[in-house]
């Protein structure tokens, strides 16, 4: 099948390929030589974007001690991809997009995790920073022993996951997820995870107790763990 008039098959596509190659040459001249002798698509794409392809917070999300479903929820949170009512309202008509927990304000990532009165009151442990940017910065700048840092990262992921779980229970089951029950479940899950990895219950149990009882844990981490 001819694309245009008497052109042979593939002739039009070859023109677009030529334009693409010219564009790549311009980019390469402006950015310098490709760093490898062997071209790889992923590396070439990141090179053209002048990015390393990995955000600073990647290690926070995918820490070894963090439970996979917690890490995945945290990953969606970092990308602002959790299916909030505010996002869903763009695609279909919803009765209300107000927060079901506090009945105040439009449900966005910022509101649910950093502004909602219900969760701010219940989770003084983690929700004392001014928005998501400060929250991420405080975790990136965290300076403390590796074991403690790993537990804090796992706990942050767990709290984000359980806040999202509490929101879902309220919307779909109209039931409240009490903070005391959340803390108990988080502690149990992290201990079991630590047991799987390190087979050392006593030390991690005490460490998790210490972290869960601190009311100013992220105020502490926001200062770089000093």
pLDDT digits (tens, 9 = 90+) for 11-40: 555 666 666 666 666 555 555 565 666 767
Alpha-carbon distance of 32 to 92, in angstroms, equals 47
pLDDT band at 67 (very low <50, low <70, confident <90, very high): very high
102, with CB counted inside 10 A (0-12, 13-18, 19+), is middle
Taking the mean position of all CA atoms in its chain, how far away is CA 147?
Answer: 21
User: Residue 214 above 70 pLDDT?
Assistant: no
Alpha-carbon distance of 177 to 193, in angstroms, equals 22
pLDDT digits (tens, 9 = 90+) for 81-102: 888 766 665 666 655 667 777 7
């Amino acid at each position: 099948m001819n694309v245009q008039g008497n052109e042979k098959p593939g002739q039009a596509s070859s023109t677009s390929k030529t334009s693409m190659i010219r564009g790549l040459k311009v980019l390469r001249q402006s950015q310098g030589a490709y760093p490898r002798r062997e071209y790889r698509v992923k590396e070439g794409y990141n090179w053209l974007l002048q990015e390393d392809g990995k955000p600073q917070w990647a290690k926070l999300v995918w820490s070894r001690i963090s439970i996979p479903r917690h890490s995945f929820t945290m990953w969606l949170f970092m990308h602002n991809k959790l299916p909030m009512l505010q996002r869903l309202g763009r695609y279909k008509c919803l009765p209300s997009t107000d927060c079901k927990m506090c009945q105040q304000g439009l449900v966005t990532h910022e509101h649910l995790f950093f502004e909602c009165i219900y969760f701010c009151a219940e989770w003084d442990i983690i929700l004392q920073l001014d928005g998501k940017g400060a929250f991420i910065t405080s975790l990136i700048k965290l300076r403390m022993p590796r074991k403690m840092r790993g537990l804090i990262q796992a706990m942050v992921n767990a709290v984000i996951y359980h806040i999202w779980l509490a929101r879902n229970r309220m919307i779909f089951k109209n039931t409240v997820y009490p903070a005391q029950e959340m803390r108990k479940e988080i502690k149990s899950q992290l201990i079991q995870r630590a047991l799987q990895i390190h087979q050392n219950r006593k030390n991690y149990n005490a460490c998790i107790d210490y972290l869960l009882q601190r009311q100013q844990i992220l105020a502490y981490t926001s200062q770089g763990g000093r």
